[in-house]
Amino acid sequence: MTSASYHCTHGEAAPSVSLISNTQVDANGIFFVSYDGVVNVNSFQLSAVLTYSNWQYAAWYTSTKTAILARRQLPSGSWTTLQLPHQLSTSDSHNVISLGVSPADGKIHVALDCHSTQVYYTSSEAGLATSGASWIANRFGNITNTLGNLNIGSTITYPQFVITSDNLLQFVFRSGVSGNGATQLAEYSGGSWSNVGSWASGTGTYTSTNGATSTARNLYIHGFTYRSSSAHVTGTWREQNGAVSCSSGGLTNHDTTYFYSEDKGRTWKNSAGTQVGTSGSNPVNVNTAGIIVDSLNADHGLMNQESQDVDSAGQIHAIISYVPGRFTQCVTDYAANRTSYARPFHVYRSTNGTFTKMEIPFAINAVGRSQIVLDSADNAYVVLPYVRIVTASKASGWTDWTLAYDGVAEGLNAFGEVTVDRARVTSSGVLSILYQLTSSGTTPSAVKVIDFTLNG
């Protein structure tokens, strides 16, 4: 029986969402567009909005460039803000703020303001994540260019905090630069940070379908997701040599990769279960066997750093997007071509080890990225640019994609890309989305958090 007939026979419907609230957290967030994005809202932030226990935290830069941290008590408390003693150093949308919590001591960790530069980092006093103590800046330590006690170098990008299945805090980041970098991991335990090492390197040789070769790159990841004691990673390679693409106006991203770790990022296995990498000594690279789960050359404007989630059976689900071949076989202006033609695709693994890729039948209408989350019943919700939420039911085999909420029609006026609170989906089935209103030039605009119940 096909997925479609199963869907029709049983009369299942794609999941719906219900708007709970839409709350302004800052009337005057800093606004500028760089690298097609805004600094307060990027898909790769883990996390700009984060639930821990019965508190929700958010971070952004206000119009004066000052870094703001906010907190509210769930489900519907009012937001309280504090100002960190740090101002955004440059008008670069990579230089986001990311938040994490270490469960062992209840500290809130903040990493910010880096793009192939030194990171800025601070952490709170112990217990602040759960105590509800007064929300003031002096509960945070001095801002340093190290990860607490650990020197992680001076070319840092994409700071991300994740919590392991046994409640350790980890820090994922890239060292080096775009097209020539390594993906790194550090771990917080016993009150201090230690280095786990590089788990994906820029080494090896890639030969494009056009015959061009590239000898340096970096892996852009769609996430770093723990489920049932395994860490799952999907991603795409960005080549340094532009000749691997049909046009200098395209993107040199190619292929979708997947591998996972059963020991908190020390060793890595491909989808077949074969060990293919060891962090620090033998990281995964472009020539690693068995990690490509969807082949695509560098001619299609494939986007990096979209999103992923893992279902209750431990199977990975990722969103990728690119310009399908029916529109063009050669993207010559990735921003314009993606805005006109790009489509999102749902890529997922089944328990028998096969991967499926399905086009989601809604245009992106933007350069930027989308966010996938799964509810407790493994139904899929994808937040497209401009807060358009499309959904598909597990019962249909994720084929019944439906527009459940249209932020454009509702007049949200959101800048394209958004970021989400993944922890709150897991803990309470509520989807919180951080977005910023679009603006022009450098005119500040409102930063908001909009909440939805996932109805399944």
Q: Give the list of residues 6+ apart from residue 374 with CB closer than 8 angstroms, or none.
A: 309, 310, 311, 317, 380, 381, 425
What are 2-6's contacts with CB under 8 Å, separation 24+? Answer: 3/396, 3/397, 3/398, 3/399, 4/396, 4/397, 4/399, 6/395, 6/396, 6/397
Residue 444 is predicted with a pLDDT of: 98
Q: Report the pLDDT value the prediction gives residue 3, as an integer from 0 to 100.
A: 28
The predicted pLDDT at position 360 comes to 98
Exposure string (b/e) for 9-39, b if CB count within 10 Å is 16 or more? eeeeebbbbeeeebbebbeebbbbbeebbbb
Closest Cα to residue 214, out of 185, 254, 187, 271? Answer: 254
Strands 213-214 and 225-227: unpaired
Contact 307, 383 (CB under 8 A): no
Model pLDDT, residue 148: 96
**pLDDT at residue 7, as a whole number:** 31
Rounded distance between C-alpha atoms, residue 125 and residue 108, angstroms: 8
The pair phi, psi for residue 70, each rounded to 5°, is -130, 155
Residue with tokens 């019944």: 400
Q: pLDDT tens-digit profile of 131-151?
A: 999 999 999 999 999 999 999
Q: Which residues of 394-427 are buried (b: 16+ CB within 10 A; e: fewer)?
A: bbbbbbbbbebbebeeeebbbbbbbbbbbbbbee
* Type of residue at 147: L
- Closest of 399, 419, 418 to residue 3, by C-alpha: 399
pLDDT in tens, 211-222: 999 999 999 999
All residue ranges of the chain with pLDDT < 70 are: 1-12
Longest distance between any two alpha carbons in the chain, whole Å:
61
- Residue in the block written with tokens 């029709």: 8
**Residue 12 pLDDT:** 67
For residue 219, the number of C-alpha atoms closer than 13 Å in the C-beta half-sphere is 31
Task: Tell me what pLDDT residue 438 has.
Answer: 98
Mean residue pLDDT of the chain comes to 96
